[in-house]
Structure 1
Amino acid sequence: MYQLLRYGVALTVALLSLTANADLQEQLDALEPGAVFELPPEKLSSLDLRVPDVTVSCHADTVIDGGNEGNAVDILAEKVTFSGCEVRNWGDDLNTLDAGIFVAREASGAVVERNRLSGPAFGIWLDATKDVTVRDNRVRGDVSIRSQDRGNGIHLFNTTGALIEGNDISQTRDAIYIETANNNEIRNNLMTDLRYGIHYMYSMHNLLEGNVTRGTRTGYALMQSKYLKVFNNRSENDENYGILMNFITNSELRGNVVTGVSQGQTAGISISGAEGKAVFIYNSLHNTFENNVFRDSNIGIHLTAGSEENEVFSNAFVDNQRQVKYVATRTQEWSKEGRGNYWSDYLGWDRNQDGIGDVAYEPNDNVDRLLWTYPEAKVLMFSPAVDTLRWVQDAFPVVKAAGVSDSHPLMSQPESIRPES
């Protein structure tokens, strides 16, 4: 009898909750454009926002719980503002795009701001819509799920004109994923404990500025995209790659700071060949690198697979275990109009005190290439044979391998990127 009574009470509460939520949905559907509505201070189930040009916010005690199924909030009309809400426990099906907040393609001009989201699949999904603002939200994933099976914090699909600004994203798969999305701005977001912080795929004319990644497995993964502006971002203590560029063309990277990129690990064991690269450039051409700092990483910059005709000048390569790894067949000149880069291990001199070294900086030689090809040869690193090889290539430049050359190395870091004292 007691069990039946408990079941009856629970069923009654559930029915009352469903009725209350249905009444609330009716109220939302009855709003007039321009209305301002505050959701009540209680636990609510999933909601749809169907009326254009309304502002819906939450009381401090409001919780929208998706019940582990589908989307928690659907924004289905243009110019809707949704703000200040706690949203949790939406569905976990990545194939059906389950999201905490789903912004549909008809919801152009929507504003999603100051919300707190925690759940398993996508945090905020922008679906082929225009001119949406996603600002000052906090998104957390479900750490009980493998990171690759979680959704992304904010996902832009075929989106144009979006502003993604000031969000705090952690423990999702990728923080911000930009897919076939053009002319968007991603500014001043904090991204920690992730696979990738920023993940670009097939996107053009986007601005990435003032963001910070920390403790990710790759800070900024830029892939198959062009005409990107990557300005004044930071990668701090990420693994594998600070900035990864795969088939990026005609893009600008200026004022970025990448520090402390370390070798990737699995179960606490370092992955062979996965040295931490401040920047890795694969099959990427016609890009400009200026006023960036690449510091305290296993490798400062690694270029391969035909990554040529990039302009690299006025950057600082500081205290990396290996400054440059270049795998190609053509010599690359890394200076522009008489101005090269700062290299912390440069041993040249500056007789006329013009701030430019008198001897070119050439970070790699035939011995380096030999060691990359045959890592086991490292046991001979300090042997007379290696010293002889280096003497021969210096004495007879005809045998010198193609590589990077900075003919105008800077004697000190450029003032604009010098660390604060």
Structure 2
Amino acid sequence: MSVWGGLLLFSGFVQAEIIHVDTTDTLIMQLQQAQPYDQLILASGLYQGQFIVDKPLSIIGANDSEVIVDASGVGSAITVSASDVEISGLRIRNWGNDHYEQDSGVRLLEGANDAQISGNQFRGDGFGISADSLSDINIVANTIVGNAELFTLDRGDGIYLLNVLSPTVSGNIISHVRDGVYIETGRLSRVFDNQFSRLQYGIHYMYSKEDEVFNNVSRYVDGGYALMSSKLIHLHHNRVSQALDFGVLLNMTSLSLVESNESEWAVNPSENVELGREGKGIFIYGAKDNLVWNNLFADNDIGIYMAMGGEGNRIFENRFISNQAQVKYVGEALLEWSHNGRGNYWSSFTGWSGSDANVSHQAYRPNDNLDRLFWLYPEANFLMGSPIVMLLKWAQSEFDIVEETGIIDSFPLLKPSRHSGLIRAVAPHVAQEKTRSSGGTFYGK
């Protein structure tokens, strides 16, 4: 039976045809008449309308050609409902912008497993690529450009994945959309080597788990990487700069590892910035049991902002450099930000070494009661460098004249721990279970 099955498979393979297409009518006809696994090679030209792919096919732009698929501003340009479909080398444009209907350049419906969407150029108002209730798709090396004239929230996402298992999203360049990559109720995604600019969030997770995201770059965004109501996400070796609101957001997210990322120049340029609207290197809001290790937070309005129950996280060996405020903590606890005798590097700290030349045994308080006073009454900020405030800070540290709350780093580093740096080649992997304690919390390195 196995030999006979192999012969049938081989027979089916050799029957697949390469079919050359050069008009819209021919494309519509071949989408209906072609046999499974045939290749449709599209010549240069304009193919106008909405196209349905309901069998395994390859739809490929001919080499060195300009193949334009134009949806005339209505619906989705290409809708796929079959597995094993490949779409590559096309210029897809002018699809609709009905978010309820998920109008997309390429829309992958339930059953479109193992799709390969690669090397295309998208330009339109709605979603670039959307997928719903499927698995094992690859979205690689596409360029997706939204409509910069639309209000950000009126645009579709560059890549929208809902209830998708094990997708790979890599090497894409995405701009002027809502979110670059939006993943909801997904699992085991790998998102790497992408570039995002001029949009809301580079990557946005909602109710997702066991994902890995690395080697991405976000510039000129509202936020870099937003992890919301998700868990077991490994966010590493990503970079974000010129963000308006935050570089990294952990919102109601747990059991995740945030390591070796670089978040710089998160700055709100407004003259009178509202309380809470400052640019943040990392914003931890109601998140717990996460590990934040070996990251760079530099030249932001606030290096790290923590609020609304974000106390239960481990934070050490990060580099906080030249932030206008290193820490803003809105809470009533006294939190220790060191682990196994190693804290964080603070450019604002001056101290002396102990037995370890790289670690000070003089505790550092980057966030104290006077800091909280200035946050509550920002009109008094001009006093922060005054002699009386410096005296009060010294007295508070020496004599504990008020009840202690805020952040303490008992072992601040005198030198940065290491450079994070973007990685260029790495075997993709999801953080393994062995990096978590039996209680589900990362125990660190």
TM-score between both structures, scaled by the size of structure 2 = 0.86
Q: CA deviation at 1:379?
A: 4.1
Q: Which residue number in structure 2 is paired with residue 51 of structure 1?
A: 55
1:372-420 superposed Cα distances (whole Å, 9 cap, x missing partner): 122223244345653453344234215143111111111111134389x
Letter of the 1:47 partner, please give it.
F
Q: Which residue number in structure 2 is paired with residue 8 of structure 1?
A: none
Partners in 2 of 1:379 and 1:358 — Cα distance?
31
1:293-333 superposed Cα distances (whole Å, 9 cap, x missing partner): 11111110010111012111111111111111111111111
Residue 227 to residue 391, structure 1, CA distance change in 2 (3 Å): same
Partners in 2 of 1:47 and 1:146 — Cα distance?
28
Contact 2:301 2:325 in 1 (8 A): yes
Letter of the 1:23 partner, please give it.
T
Residue 170 to residue 395, structure 1, CA distance change in 2 (3 Å): same
> Post-superposition, which runs of at least 4 consecutive aligned residues in structure 1 deviate over 4 A?
382-385
1:26 aligns with 2:59: no
Q: Which residue number in structure 2 is paired with residue 148 of structure 1?
A: 153
Contact 1:199 1:221 in 2 (8 A): yes
1:139-218 alignment runs, 5 A limit: 139-218=144-223
Letter of the 2:242 partner, please give it.
N
1:76 aligns with 2:81: yes
Q: Secondary structure at the match of 1:242?
A: strand
Give the counterpart of 1:291 among 290, 294, 309: 294
Contact 1:365 1:400 in 2 (8 A): no
Partners in 1 of 2:397 and 2:412 — Cα distance?
19
Contact 1:260 1:295 in 2 (8 A): yes
Give the counterpart of 1:403 among 397, 402, 406: 406
Partners in 2 of 1:21 and 1:395 — Cα distance?
80
Q: Secondary structure at the match of 2:370?
A: helix
Q: Secondary structure at the match of 1:386?
A: helix
1:85-142 superposed Cα distances (whole Å, 9 cap, x missing partner): 0000001211211001001111000000000000001000011111100000000001
Residue 317 to residue 183, structure 1, CA distance change in 2 (3 Å): same
Residue 94 to residue 364, structure 1, CA distance change in 2 (3 Å): same
RMSD: 1.9
TM-score between both structures, scaled by the size of structure 1 = 0.90
Q: CA deviation at 1:25?
A: 1.5
Letter of the 2:61 partner, please give it.
C
Residue 418 to residue 70, structure 1, CA distance change in 2 (3 Å): closer
Q: Secondary structure at the match of 1:337?
A: coil
Give the counterpart of 2:304 among 290, 301, 306: 301
Letter of the 2:284 partner, please give it.
I
Q: Which residue number in structure 2 is paired with residue 311 of structure 1?
A: 314
Partners in 2 of 1:72 and 1:64 — Cα distance?
7
Q: CA deviation at 1:272?
A: 2.5
Partners in 2 of 1:170 and 1:120 — Cα distance?
12
Q: Which residue number in structure 1 is paired with residue 274 of structure 2?
A: 272
Q: Which structure ranks higher in relative contact order (CA pairs < 8 Å, sequence separation ≥ 6)?
A: 2
1:16-56 superposed Cα distances (whole Å, 9 cap, x missing partner): xxx9534321212222223222123210022212212x221
Give the counterpart of 1:227 among 224, 229, 232: 232
Listed as ranges, the gaps of 5+ residues in structure 1 are 1-18
Residue 383 to residue 24, structure 1, CA distance change in 2 (3 Å): closer
Letter of the 1:234 partner, please give it.
R
Work out the number of aligned pairs and report it. Answer: 398
1:387-402 alignment runs, 5 A limit: 387-397=390-400, 399-402=402-405
Q: Which residue number in structure 2 is paired with residue 134 of structure 1?
A: 139
Letter of the 1:412 partner, please give it.
K
Partners in 1 of 2:125 and 2:272 — Cα distance?
29
1:243 aligns with 2:248: yes
Contact 1:295 1:318 in 2 (8 A): yes
Q: Which residue number in structure 1 is paired with residue 67 of structure 2?
A: 62
For structure 1, which segment, 303-312 or 345-354, has the greater mean C-alpha deviation from structure 2 after superposition? 345-354
Letter of the 2:52 partner, please give it.
D
Q: Secondary structure at the match of 1:220?
A: strand
1:121 aligns with 2:110: no
1:210-232 superposed Cα distances (whole Å, 9 cap, x missing partner): 11100001111211111111011
1:262-302 superposed Cα distances (whole Å, 9 cap, x missing partner): 1154xxx5542321110111001000011111111111001
Q: Secondary structure at the match of 2:148?
A: coil
Letter of the 1:186 partner, please give it.
V
Contact 1:393 1:400 in 2 (8 A): no
Partners in 2 of 1:214 and 1:263 — Cα distance?
14
Listed as ranges, the gaps of 5+ residues in structure 2 are 1-21, 423-445
Contact 1:334 1:405 in 2 (8 A): yes
**Identical-pair percentage:** 36
Partners in 1 of 2:105 and 2:131 — Cα distance?
11
